[in-house]
Structure 1
Amino acid sequence: MTRCPPPIYASSRLYINFFQPSFKLKSKTRDGARVHKVYFAAATPCDRLVAHDSVEPAIKEKLQAQFNSLDPVRLLQEMRTAQQTLSEFAAHGVRAEAAPAGESDVAVFLASLSSAWKEGEARPTHRKQPKTKHWWKTRVDPFADAWPAIEGWLIAEPAVSANELMDRLATMVPDAYASKAQLRTLQRRVKAWRAERVKEMVLGSLRKSAETPVEV
């Protein structure tokens, strides 16, 4: 018994052979390390077959008639529908028969092509899977216990450097900070702390300006 090919293969075969141009290598020459390649003009497999001298005229007429009966937009829409069916089957294990596309479905699909580039790849099989959020920390915060003291130093001396803070920690708790291996982490924390303080100052000034009544 002859098995019918899946719809995605039937549609993609016609689309590629009749509407998908490609380049074929004509010649290749080497000049030292440089390779110069020359290609034939881009053409579809159907165009190459029709242009070949060894193909019989009856076959060429049949191919031309088949080409005239095809709609590339409808073929592309059928491919996307078949991909959607495969995607749903892979995700949920449910195989749904794809309904034949009507004129309204093709029109909607054609209209969506003008903005499809904004969302990137439109094929259902290329949908990105949502990433699982990590609720755990991969590293222990090296300044979890010392941060209240560090923040107090920063408030008292806003211009103090992270290097100076690291020296103070090494003197205060040599067992934990004598090697100063956490200096880079401390620099990032201090930078983030100062950025947050600046943000609070700017927003505070804006709130005060908005609350101050304007005298007319």
Structure 2
Amino acid sequence: MTGRSASAVLPLSLRGFLGPVAALAALVVVVIGVLYAGHSRPGRVDRWIVEPTADSVRPPWRHLALATDFLGEPLGAAMLVAVAVTGCLLFRRPRGAVLVVAGTGIAVVTATLLKSLVGRTIHGAGNLSYPSGHTAFLTALALVVALLVSGRPGLGRTAGTSLVLAAALTAGGAMGWAQVALGAHYPTDVLGGWCTALAVTPATAWLVDRTAGRRADRTARAGRPERR
């Protein structure tokens, strides 16, 4: 394994799998966004899962939902990102630290822009709901951490793929449950936020690797002695 592949944040073994997944996730985001653009009520799928506009969760589950929701709030999100960045730096993974910030940031920015474009609301005209930014953030962070772990030597393709899928499902499922349980989002909003993270995080990791690789190549060329 070369130094460049060892430091990559998007493992070569997972690129063939994550590419189609990201494309499918992006398609799901677009389809749901088109279906519910400008809507202010739950769709048929939302009503089939749960009545999403009612804050019906009760203690102790309500406390758990609020604690999970806090992880997607600005303060909670900043704390998680800070811990992840610190861990990357301690393990000498500066490229991973960049991905933590860029991956979560792009996921949240993308979800915010989509909310304005789609215009779906919940609990009033001012509450844009699609896709769920909280779900997009936590899923993106879990994906980033899973990608960094799956890139370690000795971890095979099957184990790496399983780890990435498990991280995405666990983080997205936990935050999605909290958002629906607290009446903050429709279930389809949560699905849209989850797919947003699946779509943008692998692309961001590829971009980080490509940018860092080009910079390393320029540095290497600059350090070579000129031939006469």
What TM-score comes out, normalization by structure 2 length?
0.27
Highest relative contact order (Cα 8 Å, sep 6+), 1 or 2? Answer: 2
Structure with greater helix share of residues: 2
What TM-score comes out, normalization by structure 1 length?
0.28
Structure whose CA Rg is larger: 1
Structure with greater strand share of residues: 1
